[in-house]
């Protein structure tokens, strides 16, 4: 009863690459603080920063069969996104699968479960964001859906959405919004450069953002420490 | 209803710096195994070892406004200590705030919540101990107390107490005890150097600490493994 | 009422060293996916890969006394395995104990609890897999069993079983099975080399493992994405 | 930037009520083991079993403002589903809000966060499934979306989908599938009645489901315990 | 090195009893949303609602010796508050200690650790709020402080502060503020009675609290669902 | 590669029943504070207290096939003990399997995973201790070992060991020690009755156990609270 959807649409790779450059925190802000995957997903090595078209894959608990199915659907610039149908920490993925994905142009893996062979994956430079690291192997008995909409670490992901991942975590950008979000992210980066310079010179955020009056209105008051 | 206390007392920086040199485990021992913050606080990069005067700050869940307020209270040698009024994993702090803190002489951050921009913070060499890493942004709607006594990760902290943080975790030293604790820590370091040498030469702790009799009294007994 | 068993049997060190070379994931597979310790045990630095004869030790919560007892039982090639009698995150172990263990030929530590002095341990190159890192010290009031069978992180371990530990986690191999497991692991490594080459050349796992028919039998079907 | 969508479609209440009668485990099976919300959602009292049309609501961390907005959108037979935009355990909901919801025909609450006044809610018979129980109050500063698609405890929920909740947890049924799922659930209930009778009489599942041959094929074998 | 402080001040019992009547959520609100202990503390049976003067006690991990010391310090109307010096889930407390406490007028227990004999404690009607339930016994080797200020489940507690506990959790009220907080709590209860009536009659919170304009200012907008 | 062992030995039921009467905390003490399963195992309803001969069963993650195999091995007085080969929270067990077990004389279930149909199981009076409650169903693709030694929730269990379970948790007693443990437990119960009477009359544990001198030796000292 599992489905594989062929020829799902992708986001243009120049947009994808622009979002990678902006990074997760900026992209998340640029789209109104939405789309973040749960902070339990952590990179297996740091620093790492990539983006790719979501190649989605559901797996049964303790069963990685559908990852093999997903490889065939891969296109260059994809990023594999794997979610178990119920929580599982097993090591679904290792260096053999990474070797196969690299051969088909896949840039990395985001998985709300475990991975193994992390020393090899680090040496290969294949970036992975996972919930855990575990040597526990998996079986191949129950296929899962590939290239269908999924929920991964609390976020809704459709095939061809952009996944951006770096040391801060992972964010998804809807395919149809990706160009707009990229524009907003670039504007944000520019705006922050100016702020950074002023803050570095010692200017207070209280003044730069004109916060003092609003803080007083919300009840903030200052008092002196009693002489000790 | 939030308060900012001005001109709270600090601990002398030579004492602070001496405690940094001793490190967390030694300081914790030197003050009778008290003052440790919960082990959920981990450094965003390693190795890292600092100490500073606690600049305390409470934040509402998902709201980092009072961190901006705290910056103005900073003095060189301070270390910002942030605690949420209820548990929250959001990314309250990033490289812009770090830039601002550095400009005011703050040495690092201890936060019982999340941070972001960790790749940038690592590159800047701005050390942070946090409960989590998360790109999730925060709002500025509800101010919290600054420079009042707080509980952070299970430990009671007053402004101007010394915070020591390294790869092992974070410990707080009461301001009025800091000089005594430093003296005890230094004695401890000296004492350990001698023990280290004896242990390295193969002497057993059982003998060096004269434990055998007490172990027997507490019921320890030895038996031979049956021949296999 | 605690027991120390002397002269427990060990596994031959050439077998132990062979298992280290194979690594945790391969050894785990080679013995039918059994023997893995819980994935909460993580190395304090990476990369790290060792194996040794289990030198087992039970500790009371917040009490590391029996680790001192265990040192005397150590033989070159041992790996200390410590489990608390109820869950505890305290820092049971630091660089003084490591110095002592190194002097007696112990290769590393696996502990389902906390360690401290991790900067020093890293510098010494003494590998540790632990549940947590914590500066919290422990007392010496209640001895525990040494060199008796234990459960550590969910796995049953007897003295002289082989413990293999690397970046993926920790696995135990029964002493009497160790040679067979090593043979199976080596066969597995060889077999994977060939697979790796085929996958790197772009061959699909679906074809290499002849999965397509079985997938169809289990209900996998393909459909086209509707034109967007 | 928050949105409230008016006049979202609902599922017919006779279908909703039929799904309540079937219960969570049966409904989950009847739709191919999909749609379950995370098992961290637990009822505040037991037994409890309800179903309703999802009235969806996003809340900022520590901020329950949009729940007040949601009440106005309620129709009889609705079940309020609340998800925070980042994880939060605060007590977003208490008996005053329950009183208001009851006045508008809402049948219960599913919330991936905390609730309070649980003694009062229990006495009122207002069923709640929550991640935690906490007296921690919330502010009203940041509105969130109401009646838009959300992810709650890992499951994707659209307004008007059917939420079924009982002692086993919470499941969502897509609005357009609800009638089909109800039919499948009813068939399943009937089928189980017959099985129950056979099992109660002592018949083995091994025989009733004809499992023995397949088990042998998958490698199961029987051996005698050696005489002890 | 442990201390027992005799003759610490208490709060008047009529104030304590008034706070019990108000309950945790109301008291927490009445003192500006401060003083809540972590929501991991849960009652062993429900419903339960009490208040008492904090009789504080620190315990070493896996060691309940100082609870015996605390009993002697008890006065009628006290409520024992126990915190471990590092996290521990052992069963520090059972029905024998409860029998002893009852004989000295103690009303209940709040413990950031484990308890056992919960069936007996339930039958006795001795209310306990704990982090866990565990049969794991403890030793008597290391005394801890009694009647000194402590941090329990993240909250700072001094002897003689008022502890209020019910099905929603546990809150601490500073001794010197207790009468004022009681007055504020009573005002709050009265005010809520009126609101409850209006909400029960179907009035919307949006109108009762006059929220519509502020919501619009913060960016909330309404739209119609497209015809389906 | 899974094994079922026939005709494993059991413990005599009069001993088993005596241990049930003593309860978990007493049995745990009577055998030197060993054998406790992790406190994450909680009863689905309270009060509950049973004991039985361990009927052991390993299950693959998300796969309950071997539970069906275990039913055939059951004898009256058994208690089913299930452990997953890697952590899993799925609902492995429901009322149909309970019906089958009851028909074969099994008294209850201990499972380090999830169960479902808890309302039905409660109504049937079939006691279960589990790690979680979840409606998530499981598959039948991979058999596991039945009636072999296992580790369940951190404790080593052999078939025919006695499992005692009540509101405090679960403990295992080695088959060959069971009669001795029962004798020790009964002595303990008698001894506690006398202590209970003395404590109820107001006698302090400090005096009854003659603790004062030892406490002073370990550094406990008393001081007066300064006049406030």
E: neighbours with 3+ CB pairs under 8 Å? Answer: B, C, D, F
**Separation CA F173–CA A94 (nearest Å):** 40
The string of pLDDT tens digits covering residues C116-137 is: 999 999 999 999 999 999 999 9
Q: What is the pLDDT of residue D227?
A: 82
Q: Mean pLDDT in chain F?
A: 97
Q: What is the pLDDT of residue E228?
A: 65
Q: Is the pLDDT of residue B59 over 90?
A: yes
CB spacing of E86 vs C62 below 8 angstroms: yes
Q: Please, what is the Cα angle at D26 between D21 and D31, to 5 degrees?
A: 115
> At which residue do the structure tokens 């995370």 appear?
D38
Q: What is the pLDDT of residue A1?
A: 79
**Separation CA B128–CA B44 (nearest Å):** 6
CB spacing of A118 vs C168 below 8 angstroms: yes
- Which positions in chain E touch C87 (Cβ < 8 Å)? 88-89
CB spacing of E215 vs D65 below 8 angstroms: yes
Instruction: Specify whether the CB–CB gap between F54 and F19 falls below 8 A.
Output: no
- Between chain D and chain E, the number of residue pairs with CB atoms below 8 A apart is 119
Does A132 contact chain F (CB < 8 Å)?
A: no
Of residues F47, F167, F199, nearest to E103 (C-beta): F199
- Between chain B and chain C, the number of residue pairs with CB atoms below 8 A apart is 119
Q: Calculate the dihedral angle through the C-alpha atoms of A74, A80, A86, A90, rounding to the nearest 10 degrees.
A: 110
CB spacing of E87 vs B1 below 8 angstroms: no
3-state helix, strand, coil in chain E (%, to 5): 35, 25, 40
If you average pLDDT over residues F112-121, what whole number do you get?
98
Instruction: Specify whether the CB–CB gap between E222 and D90 falls below 8 A.
Output: no
Does B210 contact chain E (CB < 8 Å)?
A: no
The string of pLDDT tens digits covering residues D38-76 is: 999 999 999 999 999 999 999 999 999 999 999 999 999
Q: What is the pLDDT of residue D228?
A: 66
CA distances from D145 to D67, D151, E112 (A): 10, 12, 37
Q: What is the pLDDT of residue B214?
A: 96
Q: What is the pLDDT of residue B100?
A: 98
Q: What is the pLDDT of residue F1?
A: 79
Q: Which of D72, D80, D89, D135 has the highest number of chain E CBs within 10 A, making it the mutation to test binding with E?
A: D135
CB spacing of F155 vs C154 below 8 angstroms: no
Of residues C71, C116, C118, nearest to B205 (C-beta): C71
> What is the DSSP-derived secondary structure letter of residue E80?
E
Of residues E68, E95, E159, nearest to F205 (C-beta): E68
**Separation CA B25–CA C134 (nearest Å):** 9
Q: Is the pLDDT of residue B198 over 90?
A: yes
Does F142 contact chain D (CB < 8 Å)?
A: yes
Phi, psi dihedrals of residue C171, rounded to the nearest 5°: -135, 150
The string of pLDDT tens digits covering residues B163-179 is: 999 999 999 999 999 99
**Separation CA F55–CA F70 (nearest Å):** 7
Number of H helices, E strands in chain C: 8, 11
DSSP-derived 3-state class of residue B1: coil
CB spacing of D154 vs A154 below 8 angstroms: yes
- Tell which wins on pLDDT, D216 or A1: D216
Does D140 contact chain B (CB < 8 Å)?
A: no
Of residues B171, B209, B228, nearest to C135 (C-beta): B171
Does B1 contact chain D (CB < 8 Å)?
A: no
Min Cα distance C62 → chain E (Å) is: 5
Considering only residues 39 to 78 of chain C, which have any Cβ-Cβ distance to chain B shorter than 8 Å? 65, 68-69, 71-72
The string of pLDDT tens digits covering residues D103-128 is: 999 999 999 999 999 999 999 999 99
Residue F200 in tokens: 């109820």
CA distances from F203 to B172, D168, E55, E64, E65 (A): 40, 47, 19, 18, 16
- Which positions in chain E touch B155 (Cβ < 8 Å)? 151
Tell me, yes or no, if the pTM score tops 0.90: yes
Q: What is the pLDDT of residue B1?
A: 79
D21 pLDDT band (50/70/90 cuts)?
A: very high
- Which positions in chain C touch A97 (Cβ < 8 Å)? 205
C228 pLDDT band (50/70/90 cuts)?
A: low
Of residues E60, E62, E142, nearest to C86 (C-beta): E62
- Which positions in chain D touch F134 (Cβ < 8 Å)? 36, 39, 168-169
D: neighbours with 3+ CB pairs under 8 Å? Answer: A, B, E, F
Instruction: Specify whether the CB–CB gap between E49 and D119 falls below 8 A.
Output: yes
DSSP-derived 3-state class of residue C147: coil
B115 pLDDT band (50/70/90 cuts)?
A: very high
CB spacing of D62 vs B136 below 8 angstroms: no
Of residues B25, B46, B49, nearest to C135 (C-beta): B25
3-state helix, strand, coil in chain C (%, to 5): 35, 25, 40
CB spacing of B88 vs D62 below 8 angstroms: yes
A228 pLDDT band (50/70/90 cuts)?
A: low
Of residues D33, D87, D151, nearest to A155 (C-beta): D151
If you average pLDDT over residues F35-54, what whole number do you get?
98
- Which positions in chain D touch A88 (Cβ < 8 Å)? none
Q: What is the pLDDT of residue B51?
A: 98
Least CA distance to D88: which residue of chain B?
B88
Of residues F25, F218, F219, nearest to E135 (C-beta): F25
> At which residue do the structure tokens 């993926």 appear?
C168
Considering only residues 9 to 38 of chain C, which have any Cβ-Cβ distance to chain B shorter than 8 Å? 9
If you average pLDDT over residues F205-222, what whole number do you get?
96
- Which positions in chain E touch B1 (Cβ < 8 Å)? 32
- Which positions in chain A touch C25 (Cβ < 8 Å)? 91, 94, 116-117, 135, 137
If you average pLDDT over residues B38-64, what whole number do you get?
98
Q: What is the pLDDT of residue E1?
A: 79
Min Cα distance C214 → chain B (Å) is: 41
Q: Is the pLDDT of residue F71 over 70?
A: yes
- Which positions in chain B touch A200 (Cβ < 8 Å)? 99-100, 102-103
The string of pLDDT tens digits covering residues F81-101 is: 999 999 999 999 999 999 999
Considering only residues 148 to 177 of chain E, which have any Cβ-Cβ distance to chain F shorter than 8 Å? 159
- Which positions in chain E touch D142 (Cβ < 8 Å)? 218
Does D1 contact chain B (CB < 8 Å)?
A: no
Longest dimension (CA), chain D: 74
Least CA distance to A31: which residue of chain D?
D1
Q: Is the pLDDT of residue E110 over 70?
A: yes
Q: Is the pLDDT of residue F228 over 80?
A: no
Q: Calculate the dihedral angle through the C-alpha atoms of D133, D135, D141, D147, rounding to the nearest 10 degrees.
A: 30
- Which positions in chain B touch E34 (Cβ < 8 Å)? 85
Phi, psi dihedrals of residue D218, rounded to the nearest 5°: -85, 5
Min Cα distance F69 → chain E (Å) is: 32
Of residues C49, C192, C200, nearest to A103 (C-beta): C200
Min Cα distance B102 → chain A (Å) is: 8
Residue B42 in tokens: 């981990």
CB spacing of F167 vs E118 below 8 angstroms: yes
Does A179 contact chain C (CB < 8 Å)?
A: no
Min Cα distance E34 → chain B (Å) is: 8
- Which positions in chain F touch D206 (Cβ < 8 Å)? 68-69, 71-72
Please name the helix (run of DSSP H) or strand (run of DSSP E) that holds residue D28, with its range, or none: helix D24-30
C141 pLDDT band (50/70/90 cuts)?
A: very high
DSSP-derived 3-state class of residue B73: helix
The string of pLDDT tens digits covering residues D140-164 is: 999 999 999 999 999 999 999 999 9
């Amino acid at each position: 009863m599992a489905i594989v959807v062929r020829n799902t649409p992708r986001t243009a790779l120049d947009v994808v690459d622009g979002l990678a450059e902006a990074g997760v925190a900026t992209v998340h802000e640029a789209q109104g603080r939405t789309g973040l995957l749960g902070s339990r997903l952590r990179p297996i090595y740091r620093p790492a920063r990539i983006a790719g078209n979501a190649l989605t894959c559901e797996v049964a608990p303790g069963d990685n069969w559908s990852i093999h199915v997903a490889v065939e659907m891969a296109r260059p610039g994809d990023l594999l996104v794997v979610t178990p149908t119920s929580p599982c920490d097993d090591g679904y993925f290792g260096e053999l699968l990474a070797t196969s994905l690299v051969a088909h142009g896949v840039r990395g893996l985001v998985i709300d479960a475990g991975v193994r062979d992390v020393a090899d994956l680090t040496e290969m430079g294949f970036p992975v964001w996972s919930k855990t690291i575990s040597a526990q192997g998996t079986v191949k008995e129950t296929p899962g859906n590939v290239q269908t909409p999924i929920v991964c670490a609390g976020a809704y992901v459709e095939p061809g959405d952009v996944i951006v991942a770096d040391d801060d975590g992972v964010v998804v950008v809807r395919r149809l919004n990706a160009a707009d979000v990229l524009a907003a992210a670039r504007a944000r980066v520019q705006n922050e450069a100016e702020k950074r310079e002023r803050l570095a010179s010692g200017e207070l955020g209280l003044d730069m953002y004109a916060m003092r009056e609003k803080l007083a209105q919300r009840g903030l008051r200052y008092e002196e420490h009693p002489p000790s």
